Amino acid sequence: MTKFFGTAMAVLLTLAACSKEQGNKAVIGENAKLTISVVGATTTRAAFESPDNQDKIVNEFIAYIFAGNNLEATIVSTDGAAAEEECTTAANRIYVVANANDFLASQTITTPASLETVLGSIHESTVATNWFNSTTDANVWASGFKTLSASDFVLNSTEDGYEGNVSVALSFVPAKINVEVDLSGLTDYTGLTTDGSLCLTDVAILNVVGGTKFFGTSLMPAGTDLVYYTGWPMTGFSVVPAPTPDVLPLMTNAYDGTTDKFHFYVFENEANIPAEFPTIITLVATWGTDADDTKATVFFPIQLTSADAGVYATSGSVTGVERGKNYKVKIALTGSAEYDKDKDRPGTTDPTLPVVRTNMTVEVEVSDWIPVEIEKEFEM
């Protein structure tokens, strides 16, 4: 396994063209051997809340080498180590995808256009197995693109042929959301559902875009390819995509009082206003009693929009969900959790609507993982 350096990882491409042409200028169309390797050091998989760069691991990659619209070579590494394949010095475009070999093997890729339209699903087995398990988040998809020209090839003075070195920077395809729950300012919290007091039960993500492209200025699918999932049932809410999103268990975590930090990986979502179905982070709780006819599920949400999370951002900016960014969201509840039938119900019963917060604070930090930090407080 190979570790990403900084906010992006670079792969080193070595191109050796077997030719005895005179001069240093490469001759377009000469046979060449292309070797691609990951620049970096090996590392072990990291548990959640380890340093951000420790989930930046390449276990495998595929590089597609094109000359114009012709696929000249496909270089496959199954373990993140260097691999090589034959091509020609006419190669002018390189696409690299990390940690998605099995998925890409099922795709028909013959031209740059066919690669740029490949749509990955959040249901892919690699994603389900590795992205959302806090101890094995080391298979996150990443992609990168690079153009080549004749100037990238120079004559090797000690061996026959031309040789070139270029690097390809990889960016993460999903975004990462870290959620921290802070109850230090909340009094009278029992964690019981039997006394009517506020009891947190879950942390969930709503309006999760279900697919993504690996390349392009926008990674979001369009038309009928655009589907949403949710970590909590959205039936009865006011602003809901059609059809109503299916529940994706990977987008919710039970809150049991012993863990206060959670993480999720989601795909790009350009929505920046409630009517466009932005991605929403919410705490889920119960409050009230059946005897008083006040029992309800309540939510403490934050929408990843400029008008909501963007207001609380302590670094970076929020205008929807962007690929490769790390949204660090701290939600703090304040006041008293004690039940009082004459007191206004805390939170909201509809997390899809903008909320006027009096009992919750939020801090948001956005960076290029890339962090965006968000901290928000709800007062009871």
CATH number at residue 144: 2.60.40
| Ramachandran assignment for 291, one of left (phi > 0), alpha (psi -120 to 50 degrees), beta (any other) | alpha
N-term to C-term CA, the chain: 47
Burial class (CB in 10 A: 0-12, 13-18, 19+), 286: middle
Hey, how many other C-beta atoms are within 10 angstroms of the C-beta on 158? 5
pTM recorded for the entire structure: 0.85
Q: Hunting for tokens 């490469």 — which residue is that?
A: 26
Cα 272 to the chain's mean position, in Å? 17
Whether residues 325 and 364 fall in one domain: yes
**CA–CA separation, 56 vs 1, rounded Å?**
10
Please report the pLDDT score of residue 4 as a whole number. 44
In sign, the C-alpha dihedral spanning 267, 272, 278, 279 is: positive
Whether residues 197 and 120 fall in one domain: no
Whether residues 163 and 185 fall in one domain: no
CA distances from 197 to 194, 227, 254, 315, 370 (A): 8, 36, 18, 35, 38
- Name residues whose C-beta falls within 8 Å of residue 71's C-beta, 6 or more positions apart in sequence: 64, 65, 109, 110, 111
Q: Is 9 helix (H, G, I), strand (E, B) or coil?
A: strand
User: If you write DSSP's letter for every residue of 193-253 in order, what string do you get?
Assistant: SSSSS-EEEEEEEESEE-EEESSSS-----GGG--EEESS--TT-SS--SSPPEE-GGGEE
Please report the pLDDT score of residue 38 as a whole number. 61
Whether residues 92 and 14 fall in one domain: yes
CA distances from 3 to 121, 287, 374 (A): 24, 45, 27
Is there a contact between 8 and 158 (Cβ–Cβ < 8 Å)?
Answer: no
- Among the candidates 132, 148, 172, a domain finishes at 172
Cα 263 to the chain's mean position, in Å? 11
Hey, how many other C-beta atoms are within 10 angstroms of the C-beta on 157? 7
Whether residues 160 and 242 fall in one domain: no
Residue 119's φ and ψ, nearest 5 degrees, are -115, 115
**CA–CA separation, 3 vs 11, rounded Å?**
11
Whether residues 30 and 160 fall in one domain: yes
Please report the pLDDT score of residue 47 as a whole number. 30
Could you tell me the residue range of the domain that residue 9 belongs to? Answer: 2-172
Please report the pLDDT score of residue 380 as a whole number. 47
Q: Whats the size of the chain, residue-wise?
A: 380
**CA–CA separation, 289 vs 7, rounded Å?**
49
Whether residues 163 and 236 fall in one domain: no
Structural domain count, the chain: 2
Residue 223's φ and ψ, nearest 5 degrees, are 60, -135
Whether residues 159 and 180 fall in one domain: no
From first to last of the 380 residues of the chain, give the pLDDT tens digit.
444 444 456 666 555 555 444 445 556 767 666 677 665 433 333 333 334 555 667 778 899 999 999 998 898 988 877 777 777 778 889 999 988 888 898 899 999 999 999 998 886 544 544 454 433 445 788 888 888 876 776 666 555 666 666 777 788 888 889 999 999 999 999 999 889 999 999 999 999 999 999 998 788 999 999 999 999 999 999 999 999 999 988 899 999 888 888 888 899 999 999 999 999 999 999 999 999 999 999 999 999 999 999 998 888 899 999 998 989 999 999 999 999 988 888 999 999 997 766 677 777 877 776 433 334 344 54
Whether residues 6 and 78 fall in one domain: yes
Whether residues 141 and 219 fall in one domain: no
